[in-house]
């Protein structure tokens, strides 16, 4: 055990869908950040706090680096790079399985990252995630070689955020890179995000999983009402699902309201687990035309200035 107190921010950066949020949840040991197989799931920087004796780290899960120019993608990109301003340690997460199949996808993904963190100012650790899917481990070698050529000072860790493989070693290495400093949170705190925000995120996750390819990107969720007082042990939550067009509304609601009901049931179960109590969750769908261009609303969502 070290005697010196260490504290710092670990910024998790990487291409979209690499498994950043899955890794954050694995590190914290509970679900804080939402996960889906679709790209651009994470929209805000989500914090998770880990305290191990004299060591305390705030992990910031960021929106994936995505080259798309449409919709809110550029905002998400800006927010990911903005998080770097707070970094004491950088954790890059790459989908090793994807590159093991096609190394040619690696260079364009790495270029902006090298530009942002390759100056050697901050310690950089790289998690080559999804190692569980790479059956022939030899396939990882060219990926390792390419990454260490691009970022020679970085330390590499093949891991699986899904199975936990290699994650303990990665965490030990990350915590040992923290600068000296006083802890800023109670040891039992797991996130700086308010539970209301996390609840809205849970609803958004269920929507991402329930909806097709395009629609998730034009939905947003806000908490309209949160009542813990009217009945002890019960939290009544009213959440609005914002869609960009009238025609999206029936798609979210589904035939006979089935889809919305399903989203609501799944979200309620997760929110109950998070709050450790009973939840009554009411969802309603609101049309907010072209909200992805509405700066004031984006600000309310914590996106953009």
Q: Is 16 annotated as a binding residue?
A: yes
Residue 129 touches which member of ligand GTP, Mg ion, none, C-beta under 5-8 Å by kind: ligand GTP
Among 6, 7, 8, 21, binds ligand GTP (CB under 6 A): 21
Residue with tokens 């950040």: 33
- According to CB under 6 A, which one of 130, 206, 242, 268 is a site residue for ligand GTP? 130
Q: Is there a binding annotation on residue 17?
A: yes
Rounded CA separation 174/63 (Å): 20
Both structure tokens of 149: 């050529």
Our CB check for Mg ion shows the closer of 86 and 148 to be 86
Interacting residues with ligand GTP between 62 and 121 (CB under 6 A): 63-64
Q: Is 131 annotated as a binding residue?
A: yes
What span, in angstroms and rounded, lies between the C-alpha atoms of 88 and 80?
15
Nearer to ligand GTP, 44 or 235 (CB): 44
Question: How many residues make contact with Mg ion (CB under 5 A)?
Answer: 4
Q: Show contacts with ligand GTP in window 195-234 (CB under 6 A).
A: none
Instruction: Identify the residue among 42, 44, 129, 218 touching Mg ion (CB under 5 A).
Output: 42
Q: Is 82 annotated as a binding residue?
A: no
Q: Within 30-59, which residues bind ligand GTP (CB under 6 A)?
A: 35-37, 39-42
Task: Name the residue number minimizing CB distance to ligand GTP.
Answer: 64
Q: Which is nearer to ligand GTP, 41 or 235 (by Cβ)?
A: 41
Residues that bind ligand GTP (CB under 6 A): 16-22, 35-37, 39-42, 63-64, 129-130, 132-133, 160-162
* Binding-site residue ranges: 14-21, 61-65, 129-132
Residues that bind Mg ion (CB under 5 A): 20-21, 41-42
* Binding-site residue ranges for GTP: 14-21, 61-65, 129-132
């Amino acid at each position: 055990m070290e005697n010196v107190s260490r504290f710092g921010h670990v910024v998790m950066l990487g291409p979209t869908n690499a498994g950043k949020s899955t890794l954050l949840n694995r590190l914290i040991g509970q679900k804080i950040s939402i996960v889906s197989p679709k790209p651009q799931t994470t929209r805000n920087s989500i914090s998770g706090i880990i305290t191990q004796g004299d060591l305390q780290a705030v992990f910031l899960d960021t929106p994936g680096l995505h080259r798309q120019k449409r919709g809110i993608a550029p905002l998400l990109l800006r927010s990911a790079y903005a998080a770097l301003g707070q970094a004491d340690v950088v954790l890059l997460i790459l989908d090793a399985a994807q590159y093991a199949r096609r190394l040619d996808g690696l260079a364009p993904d790495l270029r902006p990252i090298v530009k942002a963190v390759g100056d050697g100012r901050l310690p950089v650790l790289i998690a080559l995630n999804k190692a569980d899917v790479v059956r022939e481990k030899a396939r990882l070698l060219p990926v390792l070689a390419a990454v260490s050529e691009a970022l020679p000072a970085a330390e590499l860790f093949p891991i699986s955020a899904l199975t936990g493989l290699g994650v303990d070693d990665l965490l030990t290495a990350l915590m040992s890179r923290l600068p000296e400093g006083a802890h800023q949170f109670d040891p039992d705190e797991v996130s700086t995000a308010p539970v209301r925000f996390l609840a809205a995120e849970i609803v958004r996750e269920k929507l991402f999983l329930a909806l097709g390819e395009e629609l998730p990107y034009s939905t947003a969720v806000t908490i309209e009402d949160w009542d813990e007082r009217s009945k002890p042990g019960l939290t009544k939550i009213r959440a609005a699902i914002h869609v960009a067009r009238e025609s999206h509304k029936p798609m979210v609601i589904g035939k006979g309201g089935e889809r919305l009901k399903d989203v609501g049931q799944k979200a309620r179960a997760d929110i109950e687990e998070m709050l450790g109590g009973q939840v009554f969750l009411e969802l309603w769908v609101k049309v907010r035309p072209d909200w992805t261009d509405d700066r004031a609303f984006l600000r309310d969502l914590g996106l953009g200035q």
